[in-house]
Amino acid sequence: MNVSNQLRDPAALSRFLIGCISLAIIWPMLQLAQFDVMALFELRNLSIFANFLIQFFPPNLDLQFLKLVLQATLETLAMATAGITLAMLLAIPLGLIITYSLSISRLGPASGHRVARVGRYLARMLMLLLRGIPEIVWALLLVRVFGLGPVAGVLAIGITYGGMLAKVYSEILETENTLPARALLMLGSSRINAFLYGLLPSASQELASYTVYRWECAVRASVVMGFVGAGGLGQLMDQSMKMLNGGEVSSILIVFLLLVLLADYMSLVIRRQLA
């Protein structure tokens, strides 16, 4: 056999075509987004960026200001935790309703399949509505209703993440094996007990892992929503930026990075415990 034939990649042509098609799709998108890579390296833009960074040093370490940062940090954590709790209260019933193959009515004899189908459709539409609108948009709307403060942030996280959790919960339950639940039904168990003891134990690890991940995301989202008046670190940073106080902004950014690292570490520890 010829050596050149052995070294030739049989999929080279298909990969080249895929690369050309991808470039043909991505390039117009970059043009529509007005993204110019070379503008990042222009001397004028680099000078402006350097002057912008200089304003952040040194960080503000005033004790009175650090107390405000600590209070805002606790508010951010409370907002994220309360929001995830509200999201779970929405996601658990929604996730169970829209899960067709593993719904309680499918595990054993039940009537009213047409009513269940309509209920599943309505629940799925509600789930799409909840997760289809970003949490920052919900926060903008709810701030107008409840005023400035963490209430709008908690509700925004709860609404959007409730839809996200419901979708993932249903997908996780859809992939689980229903044989243990069916075995419990054959032994005379109720459908609810068959679900709780036949399905939930095998899916609990994955469900808990994704919930912890969403809490980690909620911590980041809480800071972003603070810029629209939802309280926490974001609102404090917005006030400092409006006052052109780079030292305060730098201190808040450092605390936010530490907060994200802490959330990431806690998430990793919890996932290891569940593994």
- CA dist 76 and 82 (Å) reads 10
Distance CA 91, CA 170 (A): 9
Does residue 178 contact residue 128 with C-beta atoms inside 8 Å? no
Residue 230: which of 131, 161, 139, 145 has the closest Cα?
A: 139
Q: Give one DSSP letter per residue of 35-56, joined into a string.
A: --GGGGG-HHHHHHHHHHHHTT
pLDDT score of 109: 54
AA letter at 167: K
CATH assignment of the domain containing 108 = 1.10.3720.10
Q: Are residues 112 and 27 in the same domain?
A: no
Tokens matching residue 157: 């996280």
State the pLDDT at residue 31. 78
Q: What is the pLDDT of residues 255-268, one digit of tens each?
A: 888 887 887 787 77
| Claim to verify: residue 68 and residue 29 sit in the same structural domain | no
| Segment 226-245 mean pLDDT | 80
Q: Name the band, by pLDDT with cuts 50, 70 and 90, for residue 3.
A: low
- What's the rounded Cα separation, in Å, for the pair 208 and 220? 19
Going from the C-alpha of 223 to that of each of 7, 144, 180, 237, 260, the distances in angstroms are 53, 18, 43, 9, 10
- Residue 275 CB-half CA count within 13 A: 6
| Residue 2 domain flag | no
- Dihedral over alpha carbons 239, 231, 233, 273 (to 10 degrees): -170
Contact call for residues 178 and 102 (beta carbons, < 8 A): yes
pLDDT value of residue 102: 53
Quote the domain boundaries for residue 151: 63-274
Who wins on pLDDT, 221 or 184? 221
**Contact between 81 and 215 (Cβ < 8 Å):** yes
* Average pLDDT for the chain: 80
Residue 117: what pLDDT?
Answer: 74
My answer on whether 132 and 225 are in the same domain is yes
More confident of the two residues 191 and 231: 231
Domain match, 25 and 120 both: no
Quote the pLDDT of residue 261: 83
- Summarised one tens digit per residue, pLDDT across range 122-149 is 888 888 888 888 888 888 888 888 887 7
Residue 21 included in any domain: yes
> Structural domain tally of the chain?
2
Question: Averaged over 97-107, what is the pLDDT?
Answer: 62
pLDDT digits (tens, 9 = 90+) for 21-70: 888 888 888 778 777 777 777 788 788 778 777 877 888 888 888 888 88
Q: How confident is the model at residue 87 (pLDDT cuts 50, 70, 90)?
A: very high
Pair 167, 255 in one domain: yes
DSSP string, 210-242: HHHHHHHHHHHHHHHHGGGT--HHHHHHHHHHH
- Token pair 């080249």: residue: 16
Is 192 domain-assigned? yes
